[in-house]
Structure 1
Amino acid sequence: MSLRSITEVPLPSPETIDLVRQSCVDIPEGSIRLARLFYENLFNMVPEIRDMFSDDIKPQQQRMADALLSVVRHLDTPDEVAHYLQRLGAQHHRELGVRPEHYPHVGRALVRAVSEVSPTWSSSMSSAWVLVYQWVTANMLAGVENAMASSAEAGRTR
């Protein structure tokens, strides 16, 4: 998964969004199974990322599961979701040290985790997730860029 800017990544089509939603239809509200598998996959792929998180990963798993399912549910209000994702991207950068080079690993771990929990998984769902994840990533990275620009501007006006 390559990183692209927010100007290069359109909101996925309604059909793509529907496929992503279908892949999550059997995930109950409040379930952390998807997030648990996601973090297992991520830490297996990139073990050094594990140090970015506290020893007790369960609260982070719950936040990730809630955020992901909320984004999937609300993709038909893209402006609100984009604003949320930009704030989240800035927060992850500031509080966890997430860097742009982490995002492709996150995307692969996420798609693998969804494939493991979705009983109706298909190659078209995999493609749909990649498109949605690219849009999510572009918005999160835009949030990081905006936060960094604001910090630089604040530093110049002091």
Structure 2
Amino acid sequence: MPDETTIEAVRQSCAGIPTGSPLLAESFYAHLFEMRPELRSMFAADLGPQERRMADALLQVVRHLDRPDELSDYLRQLGAQHQRKLGVEPEHYPHIGRALVRAVRDISPTWSTSTSSSWVTVYEWITAVMVAGAEEGAEPQRSGVGRVTHGTGGTHREPPRP
């Protein structure tokens, strides 16, 4: 888990990003697809909804970094969901991390070398938890994890909000 100084640096780098802003996600996906164009096929043609979900989830994670137990549960479920729905594999995470750091750099007025190091530390922790969740998600579903909804697309397990 990142220390308090690292968490504060990450939070400061996102302080000016309003909830619902597409700037971070647009920059993230531009960098990701520039590095790994073949990953574009994992997503719908209209990235708008995915961009909003990604930006909102990331800002939620940043806000709750000081609550690692709650955040770990959420990230594990998110990792399992990304693996199941999008086909995200462990080898994708280094590219995702680089794209994320570049995206935050693009939009953060407080960016510095130490901010970059803080983001790398936080992202490595996030990745470890999400990959563990994806591995757990590959096992048969356990009861009591998340919220189950039923709809026209079948049963869906949603992660709790931190």
What TM-score do the two structures reach when normalised by structure 2?
0.85
Is residue 2:88 matched to residue 1:98? yes
Report the Cα offset of residue 29 of structure 1.
1.5
Matches within 5 A, 1:4-153: 11-150=1-140
Higher relative contact order (CA 8 A, sep 6+): 1
Report the Cα offset of residue 150 of structure 1.
2.8
Distance (whole Å) between structure 2 residues aligned to residue 29 and residue 103 of structure 1: 24
For 2:145, the equivalent position in structure 1 comes to: none
Q: What amino acid does structure 2 have at the position aligned with 1:134?
A: E
For 1:3, the equivalent position in structure 2 comes to: none
> Which contiguous aligned blocks of 4+ residues in structure 1 show a shift greater than 6 angstroms?
none
Query: How many residue pairs align between the two structures?
Result: 141
Gaps of 5+ in 1: 1-10, 152-158
* Percentage of matched positions with identical amino acids: 62
Q: What amino acid does structure 2 have at the position aligned with 1:117?
A: I
Gaps of 5+ in 2: 142-162
Distance (whole Å) between structure 1 residues aligned to residue 39 and residue 126 of structure 2: 20
User: Considering only aligned residues, what root-mean-square deviation do their CA atoms show, in Å?
Assistant: 0.8
What TM-score do the two structures reach when normalised by structure 1?
0.88
